[in-house]
Amino acid sequence: MIQNITEDFPFGRICRSENVSFLHSTILEIGKKSGEEVYLSGTELLIDIEEGTAVIHLGKTKEELTPYLLDKPIIVEKQVYFCFMPLIHRAKIRLDYDSKPSISSGSVAALSVYPKFSLQRMYTFLYHEKEPGFCFKGEKHEIWEMTYVDQGTMYHEVDGKEYKLTAGDIMFFAPMQFHKQYADADVKACYATITFAMDFQNTARLSDRIFHTSAQMKAVMRKMLREKENEDLYSGDLILSYLKELIVQIIRDNKLEDILDSFNDEGKRRIENDIVKQAIGFIDKNIEQKPTAAKAAKSIPVSPSYLSALFRQYVGKTIMEYITEQKMNLAKQYLKDGSLSVTEIADRLSYSSIHYFSRQFKECFGISPTQYAEVSK
């Protein structure tokens, strides 16, 4: 679990003085493989985040490194091993020092901040077609269970709390977690349930929450259902591998949301801001290639629903409103330039119809694209 840097930080101290000075300063640009380089501080040094969000791993030995959110400047004492990992793609770190830290040789212990899991065995894989108003009184057992809603709507009650699942939703029940299922009186429900044995260190990452499946997850579920129906040679082994793939995708798509829960408000806001900045950067870069909330979320990666909520909170508008606004501003630039026709601009901005483009332009600016081009000459 990623730790917050507090006053009792064991590898140095929080830097609160503007008067701290060192002989040298350098900027490190870190990416996904940055954790492969482990440094050893020969003297005290200052470390601060310049851009993005990152985790710093520190320890007295490189075999035992503890991850901390790097959200404030810190003074790291001498003879401490450290390395960096970005939380979102890339980050920039400033190092101020008198004596340059050395790069430690040899292999490094795993730096993952996510719990490992082992999927051991599948017990049952059932597909249910339930009539409206069905009710399963509930059960608990010593193994994991997953429900995937294929069609319709259904409810789960888990330890007294109700959850509503619609088509495409997934929910997990941890070992010995009591759960019951039921549907509205006027809605039919079709769903799959899988029971399996899994060694997973943090049940809270999967249980007591609804996961909205992406297109990629739905494709995996379709493969599982087809394999169940075929029941060919080694079907059980293949389904188990698909189940593991599905769980990995779910953990990946929700990893930032999960680790944010352990941060203080300041650290959480910093990462949320960075997520929104990354999404805006992706949209602006791909404004002519039909950017969507799902594509922006995948580029970070977070779930589309989580990104949409953050976007509205920090930007004050929906992702689609922002995309439309950026497209319209770009359209104005093209019209002012005069080198492209209205039809060509609509096509460049990936509008399927010039009429839809013109209507949206007029809704934004109160004037048609043709009229705007005339007055801009």
Q: How far apart, in whole angstroms, are the C-alpha atoms of residue 55 and residue 257?
A: 15
Give me the pLDDT at residue 305, please: 79
- Using the structure block, give the residue that is written with the tokens 């059932």: 126
**Could you read off the pLDDT of 274-288 as tens digits, one per residue?**
889 989 999 999 999
**Could you read off the pLDDT of 73-85 as tens digits, one per residue?**
999 999 999 998 8
- Using the structure block, give the residue that is written with the tokens 């080198």: 339
Give me the pLDDT at residue 114, please: 54
Q: How far apart, in whole angstroms, are the C-alpha atoms of residue 54 and residue 91?
A: 6
Tens of pLDDT along the chain (377 residues) come to: 678 888 889 999 999 876 788 999 999 988 766 556 889 999 999 999 988 888 899 999 888 888 888 888 999 999 999 998 887 777 899 999 999 999 876 545 444 555 567 898 999 999 999 999 999 999 999 999 999 999 999 999 998 899 999 999 999 999 999 999 999 888 889 999 999 999 987 787 888 989 988 888 999 999 999 999 888 888 999 999 999 999 988 887 777 776 676 676 777 788 888 889 989 999 999 999 889 988 998 888 787 878 888 999 999 999 999 999 999 999 999 999 988 999 999 999 999 899 999 999 999 999 999 999 988 77
Q: Is 77 exposed, middle or buried (0-12, 13-18, 19+ CB in 10 A)?
A: middle
Q: How far apart, in whole angstroms, are the C-alpha atoms of residue 163 and residue 149?
A: 13
In this structure, whether the domain defined by 12-104 belongs to CATH 3.40.1190.20 is answered with: no
What percent of the chain is helix, strand and coil (3-state, nearest 5)?
Answer: 35, 30, 35
**The CATH number, out of the four listed (3.30.1490.190, 1.10.3720.10, 3.40.1110.10, 2.60.120.280), of the domain defined by the range 117-253:** 2.60.120.280
Give me the pLDDT at residue 112, please: 52
Residue 236: HSE in the Cβ half-sphere, 13 Å Cα cutoff: 8
Angle of helix 265-285 relative to helix 319-337, nearest 10 degrees, comes to: 40
Q: How far apart, in whole angstroms, are the C-alpha atoms of residue 5 and residue 307?
A: 26
Name the CATH architecture for the domain at 322-375. Orthogonal Bundle (1.10)
Question: What is the number of other CB atoms lying within 10 angstroms of the CB of residue 38?
Answer: 23
